[in-house]
Amino acid sequence: MTRLAEVERSETGRTDLVVASLEAWDGVWRRNQYLVAGLLRADPGLRVVFVEPAADPLHGLAMRRRPRWGRGLRPVRGVPGVAVGRLWTYQPTKILPRRLDPRVDARAARAVLKVVRGLGFTSPVLWVNDPNAAALLEATDWPALYDVTDDWLEAERTPAEHDRLLRDEATLMGRCAEVVVCSPGLAASKGAVRPVTLVPNAVDVAAYRVPAPRPADLPAGAVAVYVGTIHADRIDVSLCAETARRIAGRGRLVLVGPAPLSAGDRDRLASAGVLLLGAKDRSEVPGYLQHADVLVVPHVVTPFTDSLDPIKYYEYRAVGRPVVSTPVAGFRDSGGGDVTVAAGDEFVEAVAAALPAPTVYPVGADLPVPSWDERVAQMGEIIDRVRRSARRR
């Protein structure tokens, strides 16, 4: 069968999509999950394989965690409006580190290709979010788009990792039919290389505006709450510790979300009185935001964080609570009356001044906020353009 015939059969029958994601499909929904779920609901003929980051059992051992193998291919259940069998996740296993196995990404690409073919996907569109999936692009002739949500070239990495990211990015920027970015910062940097399309993040507005009960593990009394990934690339650990010590006796700093931190950073936060509550299912998140006296964004300000379009910006806006943020992208230029932008000691004092909040949810929660439905429509148009580009080719 010719390439053109494969594309035509895919378009006249089922529509197939392979998403190489930076995050797993779990209860903590991020950009990819909202967009993919929305696309599946909008197109009854769509099928998706959602490729998760590989499990790394040796790294788990090195971090003193129980080693875990990849979970392989699994049907996703429980997504409203999406029948079982239309959405699959696949997690491979990374046996050896790249320094010992330079072909690790190529091996993962072959494993993905085998899984996709086994499901009967003939000529899917490839949606690359994880730069490591450049190997999958090279191993196939699938029409592809590159969805850039973080500028990993600006993150602190080893020289070898940085060189690999440079090579992968060059492949993706050069060979993908479309490049999508989530922030104005990325639009400026990546748009200097080639044309890009800006598709910002959003929020499930309705879910965040239904009053939720106070979560049982949220401390009594006043609380300053952060919801998001608690990672050294984003979080200013020293600023969190200083803030927690400053508000001690008046309130508690609570960090909600996955926390891939070093043992030393965890100890620093705990000794300062910071409460780490761990990852929460997306259905639970609105309750933590709604019952915060003040929502905080204690992020480091770096070229990497300047490349982001924080989903929490939209989530925070949806619940109408006061916000104190360091001068990072999204919040820095928000211009909202309930957002205080400050750094260092001024950030600490602004959080202290906001405790306890004089009002309760939902003051200001009726302001317009972009919804994921809008972004799903944008991404659907882009995927259609990628598919048409394959037919022309």
Supply the pLDDT for residue 64. 66
Q: Quick one: which of 333, 370, 374 has its CA closest to 184?
A: 333
Domain spanning 3-202+372-392: which superfamily?
Glycogen Phosphorylase B; (3.40.50.2000)
Phi, psi of 255 (to 5 degrees): -110, 120
Q: What are phi and psi of 148, to 5 degrees?
A: -95, 115
pLDDT of residue 110: 93
Contact predicate 211/362, CB 8 Å = yes
Q: What is the pLDDT along the chain (393 residues), one digit of tens a residue?
A: 333 334 334 443 458 999 999 999 999 999 999 999 999 999 999 999 999 998 876 666 666 677 777 899 999 999 999 999 999 999 998 877 777 777 888 889 999 999 999 999 988 999 999 999 999 999 999 999 999 998 888 888 888 888 989 999 999 999 999 999 999 999 999 999 999 999 999 999 989 989 999 999 999 999 999 999 999 889 999 999 999 999 999 999 999 999 999 999 999 999 999 999 999 999 999 999 999 999 999 999 999 888 889 999 999 999 989 999 999 988 988 766 689 999 999 999 999 999 986 655 555 566 788 999 999 999 999 999 999 887 665
**Six token digits for residue 18:** 């392979």
Task: Let me know if the fold of 3-202+372-392 is the same as that of 205-353.
Answer: yes
Torsions phi, psi of 200, nearest 5? -70, 175
DSSP tally for the chain: helices H, then strands E: 15, 14
Residue listed under structure tokens 């903590």? 28
Domain ranges of the chain: 3-202+372-392, 205-353
**What is the reported pLDDT for 285?**
96
DSSP state letters, 103-172: THHHHHHHHHHHHHHHTT-SSPEEEE-SGGGHHHHHH----EEEEE-S-GGGS---HHHHHHHHHHHHHH
pLDDT at residue 293, rounded to an integer: 94
205-353: which CATH architecture? 3-Layer(aba) Sandwich (3.40)
Question: What's the rounded Cα separation, in Å, for the pair 197 and 324?
Answer: 30
